[in-house]
């Protein structure tokens, strides 16, 4: 038996061996994530606190603004949920999306010297970008549990511990959404650097075009049914709404939004893997 037989040929199509190879290098994925985290917190004063600081501070800012505008009750679903908790739940997931996607955008381009010098399954780079953001998210998730307990102890809203597994399932779904979008932006940016300018702007707009600061029910009131489906095509909508429904225990189960969100995610994922694979072939020569 001869180990590690490898066949190199021009292959346009995604085949089993491609996935097999990516799966076999999962330990390398962890090395990538570990390196990214180490690099990120080198020479920082607050270190790992940076993982939770942005959503935590944004929570205060958004709570302040929404209170100033007098929408806190409405957004917080008639005081069933304290708005600050509503905001933190959404912002935590939003930060995960936003970080994943902006990390993915630069994941290939910033590793140019690695890509042009050594072989490894290229898909590990965007996956590691999502993985790094996921570590931040998990730390933030612990803070979310802490905040939920704090609110429960102070009365007004009580946390249902059974929401934990559903929250985790929603998180897994969010990871898939992030990977699907991440593959696209990573491969596109390797070819067309326009993407690195589009993405930050798009993310800035998407925070308002997704139900981050307000519940989906509010969007449904204001957007005419003809255009509502366009709004709900955004895969973040289903993921965010589903996560909040699970965690905060308010509102209805967002069935329609989730269905369109899942369909879009599946399409994005399939096309993303295909596009990534196709551009992977010439990536080193054009990057």
Task: Give the shortest CB-138-to-other proteins separation in angstroms.
Answer: 22
Output 42 or 226, the one with its CB closest to other proteins: 42
Q: Are 122 and 85 in contact (CB under 8 A)?
A: no
Task: Give the shortest CB-18-to-other proteins separation in angstroms.
Answer: 12
Output 192 or 208, the one with its CB closest to other proteins: 192
Residue 124 and residue 127: Cα distance in Å, rounded? 5
| Helix ranges restricted to H, 79-161 | 83-107, 112-115, 124-153
Q: In which element (H, E) is residue 2 found?
A: none
Task: Give the shortest CB-260-to-other proteins separation in angstroms.
Answer: 27
Where along the sequence are the contacts to other proteins (CB under 8 A)?
Answer: 2-11, 27-28, 31, 34-35, 38-39, 42-43, 111, 113-120, 191-195, 281-282, 284-286
Output 127 or 242, the one with its CB closest to other proteins: 127
Task: Give the shortest CB-268-to-other proteins separation in angstroms.
Answer: 19
**Size (the chain), residues:** 287
Q: Give the SS3 label for residue 226.
A: helix
Output 192 or 253, the one with its CB closest to other proteins: 192
Q: What are 75's two structure tokens? A: 């957004």
Torsion, CA 8, CA 180, CA 287, CA 136, rounded to 10: -110
In the numeric block, the tokens 């994005």 are attached to 268
Task: Give the shortest CB-100-to-other proteins separation in angstroms.
Answer: 21
Output 10 or 155, the one with its CB closest to other proteins: 10
């Amino acid at each position: 038996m001869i180990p590690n037989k490898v066949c190199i040929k021009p292959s346009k199509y995604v085949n089993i061996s491609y996935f097999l190879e990516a799966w076999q290098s999962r330990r390398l994925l962890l090395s990538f994530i570990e390196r990214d985290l180490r690099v990120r917190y080198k020479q920082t004063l607050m270190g790992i606190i940076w993982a939770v600081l942005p959503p935590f501070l944004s929570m205060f800012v958004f709570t302040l603004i929404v209170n100033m505008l007098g929408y806190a009750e409405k957004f917080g679903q008639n005081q069933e949920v304290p708005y600050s908790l509503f905001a933190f739940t959404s912002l935590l997931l939003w930060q995960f999306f936003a970080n994943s996607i902006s990390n993915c955008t630069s994941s290939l381009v910033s590793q140019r010297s690695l890509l042009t010098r050594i072989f490894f399954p290229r898909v590990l780079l965007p996956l590691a970008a999502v993985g790094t953001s996921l570590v931040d998210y998990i730390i933030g998730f612990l803070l979310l549990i802490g905040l939920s307990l704090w609110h429960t102890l102070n009365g007004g809203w009580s946390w249902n511990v059974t929401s934990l597994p559903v929250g985790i399932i929603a998180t897994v779904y969010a990871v898939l959404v992030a990977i699907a979008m991440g593959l696209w932006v990573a491969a596109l940016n390797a070819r067309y650097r326009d993407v690195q300018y589009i993405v930050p702007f798009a993310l800035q707009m998407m925070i308002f075009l997704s139900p981050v600061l307000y519940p989906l029910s509010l969007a449904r009131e204001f957007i005419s049914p003809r255009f509502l489906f366009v709004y709900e095509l955004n895969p973040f909508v289903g993921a965010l709404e589903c996560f909040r429904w699970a965690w905060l225990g308010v509102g209805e189960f967002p069935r329609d939004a989730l269905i369109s969100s899942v369909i879009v995610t599946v399409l994005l994922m399939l096309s993303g893997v295909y596009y990534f694979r196709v551009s992977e072939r010439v990536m080193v020569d054009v990057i």
